[in-house]
Amino acid sequence: MDTAPYLVHRFGTSLVVLAGVSVVTYGLLFLTPGDPAEVILSQQLDRQPSEAEIEAFRAEHGMDEPVPLQYADWLTDVLRGDLGTSYYSDASISALILDALPLTLELAAASVVVALALAIPTGVLSAVHRGTAIDRASQLGALVGVSMPNFWLGYLLILVFALTLGVFPVAGAGSYSQLVLPAVTLGTGMAAVLTRLVRSSMLDVLDEGYLDTARSKGLRERIVVYKHALRNALVPVVTILGVQLGALLNGAVVIEIVFQRPGLGMLLVDAVFERNYPVVQGITLFTAVAFVVTNLLVDLSYRYLDPRVELGGDPT
């Protein structure tokens, strides 16, 4: 499929996905028990609000309208580029997201670097030395990494490297030393998944005849493996890396709480407990858009990694 028709097709499917995400999120929020107006006013006033105060708050924020009409009003504002304001501070939700986003992006980028730095060399070595002790140790490490909960690893790293050895700070954000433990915690699980995939892909590629041709020309084995074999083996890895973005963002919510990083994850969790529904809706929609755009970029990258791949086809 040519690039232009493919982009049009992906744009249409992306709109359907985003519409579905917004409807499901909006509906689930209104299925939660309790009156958000009462909860919010109780926290703001530090007392039980009166019925008149609750009704006034509901009218001010459009909560007295039918849910479908509330959703239509919200969607209209979103299409204008307005995600709304927080129930608590009247701050713009777009501003809240932009304030928290850099710390989450910093954590996500560092986690991907950690994952790739661990997965690619380990997976390649495992494939090249298949059936040896190196291969078995790599597969065992990947199994442990996949099985280990992120939050448990995070608390373990805090116990060892922060509280016992005092090498890194326990929590917070703003310095590289405060980024190391969260990045390692979040990147380890992804590294385990990618290590197994790199190994599997390399095993398939190493049996290809064109590598024998490269060897017959006198190229060193390292060049054959890392320049010729690895590039083709990375196509399915890039696919999974794009899909892993969703898991990465989900993991960031937990990791930001464990390490007290004021990013999107902590902002989302605080909004859920505070019944700050516009913030929850805004962050969910923003995350969905980021996920869709990232997967589109991943699909377009196939052409660079392997020109034989057709857009819209199976990259593997």
Sequence-distant (≥ 6) Cβ neighbours of residue 258 within 8 angstroms: 151, 154, 155, 158, 182, 185
d(CA 141, CA 129): 16
Q: Flag the least confident range among 44-53, 173-182, 251-260, 288-297.
A: 288-297
Residue 296: its pLDDT value, please? Answer: 77
Sequence-distant (≥ 6) Cβ neighbours of residue 90 within 8 angstroms: none
Using an 8 Å Cβ cutoff, are 235 and 306 in contact? yes
Q: DSSP of 68-79, one letter per residue?
A: HHHHHHHHHHHH
Q: Flag the least confident range among 99-103, 193-197, 249-253, 308-312.
A: 308-312
Write the DSSP symbol of residue 85: B
| Domain annotation for the chain: domains and CATH numbers | 94-305 (1.10.3720.10)
pLDDT per residue as tens digits for the range 267-305: 998 898 888 889 999 998 888 888 888 777 777 766 665
CA 156 from chain centre, in angstroms, equals 22
pLDDT per residue as tens digits for the range 56-84: 988 888 888 888 888 888 889 998 988 88
Instruction: Report the candidate in 41, 45, 194 with the shortest Cα–Cα distance to residue 117.
Output: 194
Is 208 strand, coil or helix? coil
Residue 279: its pLDDT value, please? Answer: 92
Using an 8 Å Cβ cutoff, are 8 and 263 in contact? no
Query: What pTM, to 2 d.p., does this model score?
Result: 0.80
d(CA 237, CA 133): 24
Helical ranges in the chain per DSSP H? 3-31, 36-45, 51-60, 67-79, 93-128, 133-147, 150-157, 177-205, 209-216, 221-223, 230-258, 264-273, 277-305
Cα angle 264, 268, 270 (rounded to 5 degrees) comes to: 120
